[in-house]
């Protein structure tokens, strides 16, 4: 009994702390700190619905306490109090008020829902990007620019980015919390969406649909650049792949063992992530800091780090010195020096 009382005392504290701490985290991964127009409008809908629900709770609670205090049984009172029923005025009031509140909530919700699902694929001012979800990585294709890349979605500041989202296997869900809401990526079904931001920053994205053993590791980044820097990025991505003399051995090993799944040509899609300019990425497989050691560990046994991905382990196929040569070659793929 004593333990039960202690639990009841601690439970409210835990609930309050959980509510407060749920708002903590990176500003690049929070829907409560919008960094773009879509996210700001969606936060407005969240605040509007919470405000309406909070108002209803306050009014109902106030009426409840007024009723139990004002109409409580008095000393010396006998029999039943006078019954109030059949008041058309009250019935109209408590019917009309909820309808008004629903209209206030429904109108902007419907408006922004259709606005955010606008198909901008034919908008000449929007940057066109095809987003393809794989277990467990993201492919980004810029069809008008002739660019294939993976894990890093680079966008220009202040421009709408029209997204065409689908999956090649199971259902995934594309979400960049600080830029906009989530949208499912389905096999055989194209969903459209758009994002934009006026800020130059790196925003974190997640898959939010349980898609397998490494669902929680299916991360990506959205990198916003100024118009000039975005154009420079496009030019850098399109430069022909050059191989340093000391990386030629690694290239030969890569071509013999990896080229059947991974492309290094910016114009080419592939079974695995396109590795064009991989040396310029800050993450390996979207989850590891880009270091020689992490890249080597990933090549050796990727399933140890991201369970269920389709890349084979090379620890039994290649010697350590051969893997080192491949790492050297991959780190030479950088046209932004």
Per DSSP, helices labelled H in the chain are 2-21, 37-70, 88-116, 227-238, 248-257, 292-300, 302-305, 320-330
Sketch out the chain's domains with CATH numbers: 29-58+91-226 (2.60.40.420), 245-330 (2.60.40.420)
Residue carrying structure tokens 């046209």: 335
CA distance 295 to 326: 10
Whether the bond into 330 is cis, omega within 30 of 0: no
pLDDT value for 192: 92
DSSP 3-state of 78 = coil
Specify burial of residue 108 (Cβ count, 10 A radius: 0-12, 13-18, 19+). middle
pLDDT value for 94: 86
pLDDT value for 301: 92
Tell me the C-alpha to C-alpha distance, in Å, between residue 213 and each of 82, 209, 221: 64, 12, 21
Task: Kindly list the averaged pLDDT for each block of 10 residues, start to end, along the chain of length 337.
Answer: 66 72 68 89 94 94 90 80 78 91 95 90 93 94 93 95 95 94 93 92 93 93 95 91 86 91 82 90 91 94 90 90 93 83
pLDDT value for 22: 63
Neighbouring CB atoms inside 10 A of 100's CB total 9
C-beta of residue 73 within 8 angstroms of C-beta of residue 9: no
Q: Which residues contact 164 (CB under 8 A, 6 or more apart)?
A: 121, 128, 129, 130, 131, 190, 191, 192
pLDDT value for 40: 93
CA distance 323 to 296: 7
pTM assigned to the model = 0.83
Tell me the C-alpha to C-alpha distance, in Å, between residue 219 and each of 98, 175, 208, 330: 41, 10, 10, 21
Q: What are phi and psi of 241, to 5 degrees?
A: -70, 125
DSSP class per residue in 150-218: ESEEEEETTS-EEEEEEESSS-EEEEETTTEEEEEEBBTB-EEEEE--SS-SEEEEEE-S--STTGGG-
Specify burial of residue 333 (Cβ count, 10 A radius: 0-12, 13-18, 19+). buried
pLDDT value for 86: 76
Looking at the DSSP bridge assignments, the partners of residue 175 are 206
């Amino acid at each position: 009994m004593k333990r039960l009382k202690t639990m009841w005392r601690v439970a409210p504290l835990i609930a309050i702390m959980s509510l407060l701490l749920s708002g903590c985290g990176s500003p690049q991964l929070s829907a409560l700190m919008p960094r773009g127009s879509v996210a700001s409008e969606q936060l407005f809908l969240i605040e509007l619905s919470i405000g309406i629900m909070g108002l209803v709770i306050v009014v109902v609670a106030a009426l409840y306490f007024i009723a139990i205090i004002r109409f409580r049984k008095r000393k010396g009172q006998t029999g039943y109090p006078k019954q109030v029923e059949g008041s058309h005025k009250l019935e109209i009031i408590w019917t009309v008020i909820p309808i008004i509140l629903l209209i206030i909530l429904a109108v902007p919700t419907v408006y922004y829902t259709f606005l955010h699902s606008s198909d901008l694929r034919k908008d000449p001012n929007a940057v066109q990007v095809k987003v393809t979800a794989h277990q467990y990585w993201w492919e980004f294709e810029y069809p008008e620019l002739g660019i294939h890349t993976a894990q890093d979605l680079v966008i220009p500041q202040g421009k709408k980015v029209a997204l065409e989202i689908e999956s090649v296997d199971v259902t995934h869900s594309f979400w960049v919390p600080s830029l906009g809401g989530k949208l499912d990526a389905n096999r055989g079904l194209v969903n459209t969406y758009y994002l934009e931001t006026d800020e130059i920053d790196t925003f974190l994205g997640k898959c939010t649909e349980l898609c397998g053993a490494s669902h929680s590791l299916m991360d990506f980044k959205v990198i916003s650049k100024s118009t000039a820097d975005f154009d420079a990025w496009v030019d850098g991505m399109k430069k022909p792949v050059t191989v340093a003399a000391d990386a030629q051995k690694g290239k030969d090993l890569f071509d013999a063992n990896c080229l059947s799944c991974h492309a290094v040509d910016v114009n080419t899609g592939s079974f695995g992530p396109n590795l064009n300019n991989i040396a310029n990425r800050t993450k390996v497989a979207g989850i590891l800091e880009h270091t020689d050691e992490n890249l080597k560990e990933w090549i050796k046994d990727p399933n140890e780090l991201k369970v269920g991905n389709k890349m084979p382990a090379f620890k039994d196929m290649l010697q350590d010195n051969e893997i080192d040569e491949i790492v050297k070659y991959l780190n030479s793929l950088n046209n932004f020096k």
